[in-house]
Amino acid sequence: MTLTLLLDLDDTLLDTNLDSFIPAYFQALAKYLTPQVAPEKMFRALISGMRSMSESEDFSRTLAQVFYDDFYSQINVQREELDFAIEDFYDNIFPTLSTLTAQKHDAKPFVDWAFAQGFRIAIATDPLLPRKATHHRLRWAGFEPEQFEIVSTFDHFHFSKTHPAYYAEMLGRMGWPEGPVLMVGNDMERDILPAQKLGLATYHIDSESASSPSPETGARGRLHDLRPWLESSDLSTLIPSFKTVDSILGILAATPAVLNGFSYPLDTSSWTHEPTSEDWSLTELVCHLRDTEREIHHMQIKPFKEQSEPFIPRPDTSIWASQRDYLHEDGRLALAEFNDARRELLVLLKNIEMDEWGRKARHAIFGPTDFLEVVGFIAEHDRMHIQQAWNTLKNM
């Protein structure tokens, strides 16, 4: 049974006093850019941009886009005027901040052991910094970024770690792996509670020895305790459960974010690539998601507002790809249209009162059900097609 490990970076794999590190980082950047921007204005813009990223729920914009829109509008400087200086800062000045951090002696032995077990490992650091900055910090911790399946940075992620959707986006970018998943981190508000809201098992890194898991905090202990804790654990108990309102909404918000992330580097031919004659291309898959969202999911949700125990139909959509000639559509346009349709669905769902999630219904395939389960079927449908998209792209 393959375990997927999501590992936080700061104060989990790398000793970083963020209360000291972030001010020093901001001061160094402001000082370096003083010829172009006054330091006071720079500080305000940096803080505002970070806040905008932390609060963003826009799955159509990366956190980098969110930051740049906020940051550059406040300093009244065009991005092109600072690009060279900022790149030079991260190449030559940011590395000097390594003196404010220290390697954790237990980190590399644990990660080496985890790789030897065949675990899939991602670095789930809060994606509020550029790729170069995050990669520098990984090297300070004693690792190379290429060792890990994915490292979250603001260049390609859409949510901060305060949102359960961040964890859904991370798993989606890994192809929604089946089997156990464990989030390991030191921050209750950013590492543990949001991951638990998605339905993930967690391990809270703190200064005390390992203790029995509690419903509120999950397992906890020192990094040194994590390997023996895993060796003595039944990994099947770490299999996620995506049955709550928070987890379902997190998955639904993450799906377009994952597809947007997949699509950024693709050329035209990649959109229409079919691994085998039986497989869908990414264009066909996105068109299917778009039309299912518009014509099935919206139609399944609305009767709950109009009827006491509605009948939920489920038309056969398997013939649409050939019937509607999806392969010859514009994949990027179809993805934008899916983004719009999903945004409408999430607006509908976020206006649902908690007691309404238990409303009963009859499903054409699954029989007696309720509103929560019907929306859960949509999330399961998302996960299945993200797995399909990931495998299609992997086999190019």
pLDDT digits (tens, 9 = 90+) for 263-273: 999 998 999 99
* CATH number for 348: 1.20.120.450
Residues 166 and 255 in one domain: no
pLDDT score recorded for residue 209? 63
One domain, residues 288 and 231: no
CATH number of 205's domain? 3.40.50.1000
pLDDT attached to residue 17: 87
Q: Which of 241, 256, 288 lies at the terminal end of a domain, its last residue?
A: 241
115/125 Cα distance (integer angstroms): 19
Question: Does residue 352 sit in the same domain as residue 369?
Answer: yes
Q: Are residues 301 and 229 in the same domain?
A: no
Report the alpha-carbon distance of residue 150 to residue 156 in Å, rounded.
11
Q: At residue 206, what are phi and psi to the nearest 5 degrees? A: -140, -170
Same domain? 170 vs 61: yes
Per the CB < 8 A criterion, the answer to whether 289 and 337 are in contact is no
Distances (CA, A) of 340 to 271, 297, 300, 337: 20, 13, 18, 5
Helix (H, G, I), strand (E, B) or coil at 83: helix
Q: Are residues 108 and 162 in the same domain?
A: yes
In whole angstroms, what is the distance from residue 183 CA to residue 199 CA?
A: 11
Does 386 lie in the same domain as 255?
Answer: yes
Q: Which of 9, 4, 66 lies closest to 190 in space, CA to CA?
A: 9
Residue range(s) defining the domain that contains residue 337: 245-394
Query: Do 199 and 316 have their domain in common?
Result: no
What's the whole-model pTM score? Answer: 0.95
Question: Are 285 and 235 members of one domain?
Answer: no
Number of structural domains the chain divides into? 2
Measured CA to CA, the distance from residue 18 to residue 126 in angstroms comes to: 12
Return d(Cα 240, Cα 130) in angstroms, integer.
30
As given in the structure block, the two tokens for residue 289 are 């998601």
Of residues 349, 338, 344, 327, the one with CA closest to residue 291 = 338
pLDDT in tens, 372-381: 999 999 999 9
Helix 63-75 and helix 39-55: axis angle, to 10°?
A: 150
Tokens 């032995």 belong to 109
- Which percentage of the chain shows pLDDT scores above 70? 97
End position of a domain, from candidates 241, 259, 289: 241
Same domain membership, residue 252 and residue 193: no
Count of CB atoms situated within 10 Å of the CB of 209: 10
Q: Out of 185, 219, 241, pick the residue that ends a domain.
A: 241
On whether both 200 and 301 belong to a single domain, the answer is no
Helices and strands in the chain, H and E counts: 17, 11
Neighbours of 348 (CB within 10 A): 15
The closest of 191, 185, 189 to 223, measured between CA atoms, is 185
Each residue's pLDDT expressed in tens, for the chain with a length of 396 residues:
799 999 999 999 999 988 899 999 999 999 999 989 999 999 999 999 999 999 999 999 999 999 999 999 999 888 999 999 999 999 999 999 999 999 999 999 999 999 999 999 999 999 999 999 999 999 999 999 999 999 999 999 999 999 999 999 999 999 999 999 999 999 999 999 999 999 999 999 987 665 556 666 679 999 999 999 999 999 999 999 999 999 999 999 999 999 999 999 999 899 999 888 788 999 999 999 999 999 999 888 888 877 788 888 888 888 898 899 999 999 999 999 999 999 999 999 988 888 889 999 998 888 999 999 999 999 999 999 999 999 999 888
Same domain, 329 and 349: yes
